[in-house]
Amino acid sequence: MKTPQVAVLSALLLLAGWSGLDAQAFYPSRVNGTVEVKFLPPAGGQSVQVSIDGQVAGVLPLTVYVVPGAHRFTFFAGEENKTITYPVQGDTTVPSIFTPRAFPLTVNTNVPEASLAIDGRPFGGNSTTATPGQHTLTVSAPGYQVLNMPFNQPRAANILNVTLIGNSFPLTVNVNPAGASLAVDGQPIYGNTTSVAPGDHTLSVNAPGYQNLTLPFSQPSAANILNITLIANTFPLTVNTNPAGASLALDGQPFYGNSISVAPGDHTLTVTAAGYQNLTLPFNQPSAANILNITLIASMGSLRVDTDRLPRTGQAYRLFVNGAETRDSRAPQSLAPGAYSVRLVSGNLSIETSVTVTAGQTVTLIPSVQWETR
């Protein structure tokens, strides 16, 4: 039996040309005697159409109004359809009866042990399934920034390739010489500070005139300081000396033989040999092999001739050294070390001898004349 409200509504609808409430399966707005029915959309976001008692109502989500009682709801999702008989007694909500089909999802990360979750639900390994539509992938791993990545799962297998970014910490590189070029893992850095993710890295340092340095290092989960001293490039230096066998020192450091490797730039060579004047020679080593030819100057000795014991001939005594007359026979003669012939002449008197002069010493000759009676 119809209620009075439904009977009145049926009469009004009949006047309007309708066949009554029983013939009308649903209404778009509330009518006396009807109740509200809400249809929720499927979780997968697919398009679902619903018909009520054989009449097409629309696409979910949808709200309609029906007369209380049992109704037949048919849901169409593409080629798939499902029909249920649903008792409606008052305002109600009809949940989606479709379980959305899920499709394979594979997540590849640069951190194999990373934790993975879809829409907040963790899953093990790197593969799972996801329903078509919008989702959020969360990837996390110790020492790396957490990644929240929205993605759309198609109605097919899907692969997501994810690169986590490591947490980074300050790195300071102090270099001698200052101003060297720096790179971490092949990426140049400017100045001497950067931020680096914890783990193993490679520092490259180079400067003109110095050997390139490639240094593996591990960045901790904290600020880090690296102190670097580059080794200068060196090039051969050969020192030829006269006399041979002189003692050699570079920048105050003795070396043996006559060759050494030297960094380009300004240096000082010291050469010493017995009987010769010490030589201190500033020089510039080029970025190439270098030869220095050194001739030492002999240290001088002196020769003095004492003529006080010689007889006076009425003429001055003349002194000849190696056949060359000296300017003043009584003055000490400065001579290089070695052997000399010495001749003293005055009038018809001539005295000759040989003498060896030693560096740094004075040799005094005291000539004498012995008279012989026959």
Lowest-confidence region among 240-244, 300-304, 350-354, 358-362: 358-362
Statement to judge: residues 79 and 43 lie in one domain: yes
Domain edge (last residue) among 94, 122, 144: 94
Statement to judge: residues 124 and 176 lie in one domain: no
The Cα–Cα gap between 105 and 111 comes to 18
Statement to judge: residues 250 and 270 lie in one domain: yes
Domain edge (last residue) among 192, 210, 229: 229
Residue 5 has what pLDDT? 38
Average the pLDDT over 124-134 and give the result. Answer: 92
Q: Does the pLDDT of residue 102 top 90, yes or no?
A: no
Statement to judge: residues 222 and 242 lie in one domain: no
| CATH code of the domain in which 361 resides | 2.60.40
Statement to judge: residues 87 and 110 lie in one domain: no
Q: Would 374 be classed as within a structural domain?
A: no
Distances from the Cα of 361 to the Cαs of 59, 282, 328, in angstroms?
124, 30, 20
Query: How many domains is the chain built from?
Result: 5
Q: Would 210 be classed as within a structural domain?
A: yes
Statement to judge: residues 69 and 27 lie in one domain: yes
Taking only the tens place, the pLDDT of each residue in 22-34 is 568 899 999 999 9
Q: Would 350 be classed as within a structural domain?
A: yes
Statement to judge: residues 183 and 150 lie in one domain: no
Domain edge (last residue) among 94, 117, 150: 94
Q: Would 259 be classed as within a structural domain?
A: yes
Q: Band the pLDDT of 192: cuts 50, 70, 90.
A: very high
Q: Would 372 be classed as within a structural domain?
A: no
Q: Give residue for tokens 């249920």.
A: 84
Q: Band the pLDDT of 44: cuts 50, 70, 90.
A: low
Statement to judge: residues 19 and 77 lie in one domain: yes
Q: Would 336 be classed as within a structural domain?
A: yes
Q: Band the pLDDT of 201: cuts 50, 70, 90.
A: very high
Residue 19 has what pLDDT? 40
Statement to judge: residues 116 and 53 lie in one domain: no
Average the pLDDT over 133-159 and give the result. Answer: 94
- When comparing pLDDT for 140 and 369, which is higher? 140
Over its C-alpha atoms, the chain yields an Rg (Å, rounded) of: 56
| CATH code of the domain in which 111 resides | 2.60.40.1120
Show the tokens assigned to 178. Answer: 């200052």
Q: Would 216 be classed as within a structural domain?
A: yes
Statement to judge: residues 9 and 71 lie in one domain: yes
Statement to judge: residues 90 and 15 lie in one domain: yes
Q: Which domain holds residue 177?
A: 171-229
Edge-to-edge strand order for the sheet containing 338-346? Answer: 324-325, 318-321, 338-346, 349-357
**Strand 147-153 relative to strand 133-140, pairing:** antiparallel
Residue 285 has what pLDDT? 94
Residue 84 has what pLDDT? 93
Among residues of the chain, what percentage have pLDDT more than 90?
64
Q: Would 43 be classed as within a structural domain?
A: yes
Lowest-confidence region among 75-79, 90-94, 226-230, 247-251: 75-79
Show the tokens assigned to 211. Answer: 């050997």
- When comparing pLDDT for 153 and 4, which is higher? 153
Statement to judge: residues 313 and 261 lie in one domain: no
Lowest-confidence region among 77-86, 203-212, 256-265, 333-342: 77-86
